[in-house]
Amino acid sequence: MATKPSEHISLELKPDWDASNTEASRKFGRMNPHLPTYNRGMDASCFDDMKRYVDFSTADAQLLAELAEPLTKRIPSLVAEFYAILQSDPRAMEVFAGDTDQIDRLRQSLALWFSRLLGGEYGDAYYQKSLDIGHTHVRVNLPQYLMFTAMNVVRRSLLREIDGLDLTDRAAYRAALEKILDLELAIMNQSYHEDLMARLKTLESVRFEKRLDEARHLASLGELAASVAHEIKNPLAGISGALQVIRHGLAEKHPHREVMDEALKQINRLDAAVKDLLIYARPKPPQRGPLDLVSLVRRVIMIVRRESGLGQVKITVDAEHDSIEMIGDEAQLQQVLMNVIINAAHACGRKGTVQCRIQRIGAGARLAIVDNGVGIDPEVLPRVWEPFFTTKAKGTGLGLSICHRIITAHGGTIALESKPNEGTQVTIDFGDRNSGAGDSEKV
């Protein structure tokens, strides 16, 4: 070791000195506003468990107390030996750098620790004190390995001291010492564990708060958007009606007819976006009734072909049965199928295919919409369910979040798998097709 231990250090023991009140702990305490707090005394029973494990008895306590008398006078040299070794460790010294008084205070603290170790009282107060010391180590960022290596230094010195004493049953004294040192290690380990758990908890609650804030923000944004959408809906219908009247009055070949058609198309788009926004922000509970999933899929495909200008995309139905009866809100499920099939068709472009596979699975039904379109980048994939997330110039980004809500309210699940440049599969599972589940849940 670089520094030779001094045998002549005198120590003034101040029993009221608090190990957690070091300069470093105050410094770190100020620096970290999320410094964990601990439930003092909560784990006292844990100490009983520890003692039981190492078979620590009142006889051991007695033996340790008997060692106090011959060993107390040796404490200053044991402390000096300990710090000489510690000071040769650069990482340990990093912790104490810049605080010259601190080592002196820690020497006193270690001397007190030695006397406590041989104090003969190993109850809850002992446990709490050791736990506090452990937390101080954590707070000053003492590397965890030092807890073990430093304890080994202490162990070797104390065993050596015991070997130098004139004792009849030396093995019993050594065993008692080994037990209490292992208990000390277990407690210090516990402090690091508690600290880690407290930090995790803080982190989780910070994250939770953040998510809650985002959700609140999104909800109020949705409400605002919904009121605006509501205001737009009626005038939009009025404009559309008026344009249709004017268009009707124009001669067959009139050049303004085309302009009117384009204007009406744009109004339809606007209307669809406003509807999506209202469905998203003002969800309605499903109005359940019997329906046939296979014919619903066929009907949606017809509407998509007719209305979306996606006539070129090949859309096929692959159904194991002519009809699959189930309970659900037909209008809402139609909305889901429209969203998913239009997404698939958009992704395919002209030469792609969209397959709708329908099957019964036990009491449930499964619908898979598979396309061979552009697929979704893995980084983007988790975001597709977020409201307002879209990669399309004309998208609202509400389609999939509405689908998710509706399917969940029907007691089902919806999942999406995708590979860039290969395609995407959306799988909708209706758990029990005859229950329609989710009683009062709104979509």
Residues binding ligand ADP (CB under 6 A)? 339, 343-344, 347, 371, 373-376, 384, 389-392, 395-400, 424
Looking at the Cβ atoms of 23 and 417, the one nearer to ligand ADP is 417
DSSP notation for 64-128: HHHHHHHHHTTHHHHHHHHHHHHHT-HHHHHHHTT-HHHHHHHHHHHHHHHHHHTSS--SHHHHH
Residue 64 or residue 337: which is nearer to Mg ion going by CB? 337
Long-range pairs, 237-240, Cβ under 8 A, ≥24: 237/271, 239/267, 240/264, 240/267, 240/268, 240/271
Of 385-404, binders to Mg ion (CB under 5 A) are 399
CA-to-CA distance for 137 and 148, rounded, in angstroms? 12
Nearest distance, CB of residue 374 and ligand ADP, angstroms: 6
How many angstroms separate the CA atoms of 423 and 206, rounded?
38
Q: Which does 279 bind (CB under 5 to 8 A by kind): Mg ion, ligand ADP, none?
A: none
389 binds, among Mg ion, ligand ADP, none (CB under 5 to 8 A by kind): ligand ADP
**Judged by CB under 5 A, which stretch of 24-32, 239-247, 253-261, 342-350 contacts Mg ion?**
342-350
Closer Cβ to ligand ADP, 177 or 348, answer by number: 348
Measured from the CB atom, the residue of 364 and 387 that comes closer to Mg ion is: 387
Minimum gap (Å) between residue 366 Cβ and Mg ion = 21
Q: How far is the CB of 342 from Mg ion (least distance, A)?
A: 6
Work out how close the CB of 272 gets to Mg ion at its nearest, in angstroms, rounded to a whole number: 10
Phi-psi region of 318 (alpha: psi -120 to 50; beta: other; left: phi over 0): beta
Cβ at position 237, least distance to Mg ion in Å? 23
Query: Could you tell me the two tokens for 393?
Result: 């110039």
- State yes or no: residue 438 binds Mg ion (CB under 5 A): no
Question: Taking a C-beta distance cutoff of 8 angstroms, is the pair 136, 22 a contact?
Answer: yes
Closest by Cα among 279, 437, 276, 258 to 364: 437
Of 130 and 418, which CB lies nearer to ligand ADP in the complex structure? 418
- 18 to each of 25, 52, 79, 317, 422, how far by Cα in Å? 11, 29, 18, 77, 66
Nearest distance, CB of residue 268 and ligand ADP, angstroms: 15
Chosen from ligand ADP, Mg ion, none, partner binding at 374 (C-beta under 5 to 8 Å by type) = ligand ADP
343 binds Mg ion (CB under 5 A): yes
Pair type for strands 325-328 and 289-292: antiparallel
Q: Which residues are at the interface with Mg ion (CB under 5 A)?
A: 343, 399
